[in-house]
Amino acid sequence: MPEVVENEKHREREYRHRGRTAQIPIYLGKQLRFFINESDWKVLPMAAVIAALVSLVVRGKVFVNMEGTLMGAFAITCVAIWNGCFNSIQAVCRERAIIKREHRSGMHISSYVAAHMIYQFLLCLMQTVVSIYVMQLTDIGFERMAGFMTPWMMVDIGISMLLVSYAADMLSLLISSISRTTTGAMTVMPFILIFQLVFSGSLIPLPEWIRPLSNCTISTYGIRAIASQCAYNELPLDTVWKTLNDMRDSELEETVTVGRLLELTDSSIVSRYREETIIPAVTAGEAAEFLNIRLPEETDKDLILSDPVSLGEILDLLANSEFVQANKDKGVTLKATMGELIDAFGEEKVKDFVMKKTADAGYKEEYVRTNRNIIGNWLMIGLFIVLFAVLSMVVLEFIDKDKR
Amino acid sequence: MVLEKIRDILMIAVFGSSSTEIVSLVLAVTYVVGLWKIFEKCGVKGWWVLVPVARVYKLSLCADREIEGRTLSILEGVMTLINISRKFVDAESTAGDVLAVAMLMIGLVYMVYSIRVYLGLIQVFDQQKVWVILWIVAGGLPAMLWGFQKKYQPLWQAEEIRNDADAFFSGNKAAVLDQGLTVNLEERTAKEFFKKKTLLRDIHMYVQPGHMVLLLGGSGAGKTTFVNAVNGYEPAKAEIMINGKNMYKNYKSMQYDIGFVPQLDLMRGSDSVYRTLTDAAALRLPSSFSKPERLARVEEVMDIFGLAPVKDNLVSKLSGGQRKRLSIAMEFISNPTLFILDEPDSGLDGVMARELFEQLRHIADQGKIIIVITHTPDRVIDLFDDVIVLAKDAQRTGRLAWFGPIAEAREFFGKERMEDIVKSVNREEEGGEGRADEFVMKYAEVQHA
């Protein structure tokens, strides 16, 4: 009996083939050879060109104000998604028939996908390093702000970029696993890119009913992570003040009737100030000083010549004046430039006011600069990576069902 | 209001539109009536035209475009649902807009597939392609013309009459011996679009070790289905025994005992010849093989197939013949008992093809069983021992019309050349003699005798 068991064991050993883990290096080797011998290496210079183009557009704006930072976060995310998508969109479908043959010869799909995951991660890492280096060279301004998760902003942004790029890569790997041909995969690709960019919900406001869709995009979490790292909420919002300042020479001109002006005196704003003293009480001393005369008696100087006059009294006086009543329908032209109005309140004061109030209005909870928020967004992107990789494996397990 | 909606839904279901405009209504009614008659001409029951979704599928059967018909019927189902939904949704609302866009998108795809089906119908009715414009613009007119006029007749029927061969079973099981390959295949079926289709039926044979067997059959006769059933890749209701062991029951351990070389050279161009073979060895050889043993086997196989001089070349730089040899070498690395090759000579000139088949003969002489599918068998027929002839019967099921030695096959079919044998069992519309059923039954009788 033990001899039979020994024989069975021997037979098992004889027929046992490479397991899943042992197969990974075979396919990883194939991917690396493909990188050298075929065209995969081209994604590196392509990443540099794309990063340079984007960086030249957004440099000087990121880390400076809210709108520039959001634009930068969007642009960096676009670069990462673009890189990731193009890395693997044809990776599986171009060799679908070969995979089918190898699957028939004992290849494990999980080993094949795992090899792809390792290879694509290396590719994304190289692209991220190249992109960040190019952005640094083109003065995007990483040095303007210290990093939050690490001491260096470029490393912080690099981690987010790598994750976004890798998630987009895994999404493309899934599309490539589903598609039967490279043409099919390349047809789907633009829709995926547009969906990721439009539905990120950052630069393009989405209608309320469609907003939940943005939670299904990698770009949403990428932009959130990068905007948070760049301290979006702590930056001013320049646009409104800059627009106002640019309008300095613009004239405001309006002709209103006297009657309309009188109606305005009943408005709630004016009512609030009706009790305010406009003309204070005048003493004899003050009047003498103004007229440069001497009072007969020094003691008369505190004598009150007229009572204080409030805004309400003046307005009432005007409203009841016969002259005003007679000219109620007469038009009065009010004219001032934006510059005059700004100067009337004081430029610095207006600027501080506008920038503070607009920054408060631009504050977004999802861009708050906390470890919890940034890591939360990274984890969400990580979930996408795992989901897409698992789905790729599941889809490829059915490769034998392909029609001949 | 409710009655109006019910009327609209019925109109959409039967005619595809709820339009009450007189022209649309007339066209819709004439289309349905005309199609009824066309269905009858094609051997399909006319009342199917009243069943939404199934109608287009049946039309595609008449047009010999079943695959397009499946898509078309799904699209029509979706379009019908959208049309009905639109009756309950405000056209100005967002949902109304979404439905309208969806309808447009599906409508465009529907039109493309309709054109394909109508082109098929035109081919079946042997008419000019220009008819397709009329079918698309005003389907009711051609439907009435083709349906009611006697001069418009289909070249063949969608559903053929069952004949004797269909019901006939040889019932002869092949013997199982300790050595060699035994195939006892009852049937191989596939479900396609809720319909069971029999791809192969009643195939029994015993192949001796050391035999090189030619697998012949016209297009769609089931050659690839047969080899996939034999190598266990697409199991059939069958018993496949290799050297006395049941292939299906021991698939995991026997998987590597069968080498299957596909028609196309499915290899990565970025790998070198040596790397391709070492990777193939790593996958196909048991892990009990040490690395030196594996590499020794790679060297051995390279020598057998004459690949040693190009071992460092990239696969993409190899010639057609070298590539083919490499593809075979990849499977041969595990030293399989049964070796199946699907058109190994495709793309090779006569001399190279001959050299390749001689190499295969040499492998067979070492006690291996080799089954080869080829479309140009006559130039190398002297190298084969046996021939399997598969033929598509009237039900388009792959049947065994012959298995045995080459010389006897010539006598059985009364043909000298193998290509003529294929021609004799091919359907008439494929340029053949349409004698498949005759030979299937004759072979069964021979087996009984």
| DSSP letter for each residue of B152-221 | ---SS-SSPPP-HHHH-----PPP--SSSEEEEEEEEEEEETTEEEEEEEEEEEEE-TT-EEEEEE-TTS
What is the tens place of the pLDDT at every residue in A72-131?
A: 999 999 999 999 999 999 999 999 999 988 888 888 999 999 999 999 999 999 999 999
State both tokens at B416. Answer: 């000298």
Work out the mean pLDDT of chain B and round it to a whole number: 86
Average pLDDT value for residue range B207-230: 90
Nearest CA in chain A to B252: A15
Outline which parts of chain B fall under CATH 3.40.50.300: 164-448
CA dist., res. A329 & res. B260, Å (int): 101
Nearest CA in chain A to B192: A403
Q: How many residues does chain B have?
A: 449
Residue B347: what are its φ and ψ, rounded to 5°? 85, 0
A394 pLDDT exceeds 90? yes
State both tokens at B54. Answer: 């199934």
Q: What is the pLDDT of residue B1?
A: 58
Select from B234, B270, B288 the Cβ nearest to the Cβ of A14. B288
B449 pLDDT exceeds 80? no
Q: What is the pLDDT of residue B406?
A: 93
B174 pLDDT exceeds 90? no
DSSP string, A25-56: HHHHHHHHHHHHHSSGGGHHHHHHHHHHHHHH
Q: Which of B66, B37, B40 is nearest to B54 (CA)?
A: B66
Q: What is the pLDDT of residue A237?
A: 83
Select from B224, B233, B275 the Cβ nearest to the Cβ of A104. B233
State both tokens at B312. Answer: 């460092």
How many Å is the maximal CA-CA distance in chain B? Answer: 84
Greatest mean pLDDT range, A160-169, B186-195, B333-342: A160-169
Average pLDDT value for residue range A143-147: 82
Which architecture characterizes domain B164-448 according to CATH?
3-Layer(aba) Sandwich (3.40)
Band the pLDDT of B14: cuts 50, 70, 90. Answer: low
N- to C-terminal Cα separation, chain A: 47
What is the tens place of the pLDDT at every residue in A196-222?
A: 888 887 778 888 888 888 889 999 999
Band the pLDDT of B5: cuts 50, 70, 90. Answer: low
- Bridge partners, B416 (sequence order): none
| Cross-chain Cβ contact A97/B262 below 8 Å | yes
Residue scoring higher pLDDT (B20 or A169): A169
What is the tens place of the pLDDT at every residue in B27-40?
A: 788 888 999 999 98
What is the tens place of the pLDDT at every residue in B228-252?
A: 899 888 888 989 999 888 888 888 7
- Enumerate the residues of chain A whose CB falls inside 8 A of the CB of residue B280: 105
CA dist., res. A77 & res. A363, Å (int): 20
Q: What is the pLDDT of residue B11?
A: 65
Interface test with B, best of A105, A211, A398 (most B CBs within 10 A): A105
Band the pLDDT of B95: cuts 50, 70, 90. Answer: confident
- B75 to each of B56, B68, B78, B138, how far by Cα in Å? 10, 11, 5, 20
Q: What is the pLDDT of residue B17?
A: 62
| Cross-chain Cβ contact A18/B283 below 8 Å | yes
Q: In Å, how far is A204's CA from the nearest CA of chain B?
A: 19
Q: In Å, how far is B245's CA from the nearest CA of chain A?
A: 14
Q: What is the pLDDT of residue A4?
A: 44
Select from A17, A36, A98 the Cβ nearest to the Cβ of B266. A98
A178 exposure class (CB count in 10 Å sphere: 0-12, 13-18, 19+)? middle
CA dist., res. B66 & res. B238, Å (int): 28
State both tokens at A78. Answer: 């676009």
CA dist., res. B229 & res. B151, Å (int): 45
A324 pLDDT exceeds 80? yes
| Cross-chain Cβ contact A33/B270 below 8 Å | yes
The residue type found at B26 is: V
DSSP code for A146 = -
Alpha helices in A200-310 (DSSP H): 218-229, 239-246, 258-264, 268-272, 284-291
Q: Which of B264, B247, B117, B85 is nearest to B181 (CA)?
A: B247
Greatest mean pLDDT range, A178-192, A307-321, B432-446: A178-192
Determine what percent of chain A is predicted with pLDDT higher than 90: 36
Average pLDDT value for residue range B206-210: 92
DSSP code for A207 = P
B8 pLDDT exceeds 70? no
Band the pLDDT of A13: cuts 50, 70, 90. Answer: very low
Band the pLDDT of B326: cuts 50, 70, 90. Answer: very high
Residue scoring higher pLDDT (B196 or A165): A165
Lowest-pLDDT range, A17-21, A285-289, B5-9, B117-121?
B5-9
The residue type found at A129 is: V
How many Å is the maximal CA-CA distance in chain A? Answer: 142
Q: In Å, how far is B128's CA from the nearest CA of chain A?
A: 32
Q: What is the pLDDT of residue A117?
A: 96
What is the tens place of the pLDDT at every residue in A247-271?
A: 888 888 888 888 888 887 778 878 8
- B38 to each of B68, B124, B135, B179, how far by Cα in Å? 19, 11, 13, 56
Q: What is the pLDDT of residue A3?
A: 47
Residues 6+ away with beta carbon under 8 Å from A364: A227, A232, A233
Number of helical H runs and strand E runs in chain A: 18, 6
- Enumerate the residues of chain A whose CB falls inside 8 A of the CB of residue B331: 105
- A375 to each of A86, A229, A378, B224, how far by Cα in Å? 26, 10, 5, 53
B162 pLDDT exceeds 50? no
In this prediction the ipTM stands at: 0.72
Q: What is the pLDDT of residue B159?
A: 55
Based on C-alpha coordinates, what's the Rg of chain B? 28
What is the tens place of the pLDDT at every residue in B55-86?
A: 889 899 888 888 889 899 999 899 888 888 88
